């Protein structure tokens, strides 16, 4: 089980319900980690976890700005600073986003810095339940050179 990691959780408006359902389903695991979220998503996640835990809830949620106001860019900066271990980003592919450049920047930084990114609930479940978490597994650094045959 993944523990003591920093997990970024981001969901577009049309995917927030999906994110909350996923958080509730995985609450036991998520409560053992630090969560970094864009603003509105973070508030919803904090509320959902508080309802599960009850009066003893000590929030493990750090809320950045909302995505359109720079929250995606703030999380991208954390990726560059090696402060994010996993990113779950439930993207609404059916709606145009005014901050598309920030979204693509975040996804690009995750790819460049070898941070796993889950873009749907299925991949998120597979990633947080991976038997590699908590082992001596170390991902290899990406290689950026031309492939020669």
Q: Classify residue 33: in a domain, yes or no.
A: yes
Q: Classify residue 62: in a domain, yes or no.
A: yes
Q: Classify residue 144: in a domain, yes or no.
A: no
Q: What is the CATH number of the domain that holds 114?
A: 3.40.50.1380
Half-sphere exposure of 108 (CA within 13 A, CB side): 7
Q: Six-digit token pair at 105?
A: 């920047």
Write out pLDDT tens, residues 84-115. 999 999 999 999 988 899 999 999 999 999 99
SS3 89: strand
pTM of the model as a whole: 0.94
Q: Six-digit token pair at 118?
A: 């889950």
Q: Classify residue 138: in a domain, yes or no.
A: no
Span 73-83, average pLDDT: 97
Domain count, the chain: 1
Q: Which of 18, 72, 85, 141 is catalytic?
A: 72
Distance (Å, whole) CA 21 – CA 132: 25
Q: Classify residue 115: in a domain, yes or no.
A: yes
Known active-site residue 18 = no
**Contact call for residues 10 and 97 (beta carbons, < 8 A):** no
**Contact call for residues 9 and 42 (beta carbons, < 8 A):** yes
Residue 42 structural domain: 6-128
Write out pLDDT tens, residues 29-65. 999 999 999 999 999 999 999 999 998 889 999 999 9
């Amino acid at each position: 089980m993944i523990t003591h990691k920093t997990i970024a959780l981001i969901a577009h408006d049309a995917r927030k319900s999906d994110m909350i359902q996923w958080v509730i389903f995985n609450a036991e695991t998520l409560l053992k980690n630090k969560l970094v979220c864009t603003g509105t998503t973070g508030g919803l996640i904090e509320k959902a976890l508080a309802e599960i835990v009850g009066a003893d809830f000590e929030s493990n949620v750090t809320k950045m700005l909302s995505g359109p106001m720079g929250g995606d860019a703030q999380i991208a900066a954390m990726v560059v600073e090696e402060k994010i271990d996993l990113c779950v980003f439930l993207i609404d592919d059916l709606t145009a986003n005014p901050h598309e450049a920030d979204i693509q920047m975040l996804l690009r930084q995750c790819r460049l810095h070898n941070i796993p990114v889950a873009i749907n609930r299925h991949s998120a479940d597979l990633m947080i339940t991976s038997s590699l978490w908590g082992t001596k597994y170390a991902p290899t650094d990406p290689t950026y050179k031309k492939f020669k045959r």
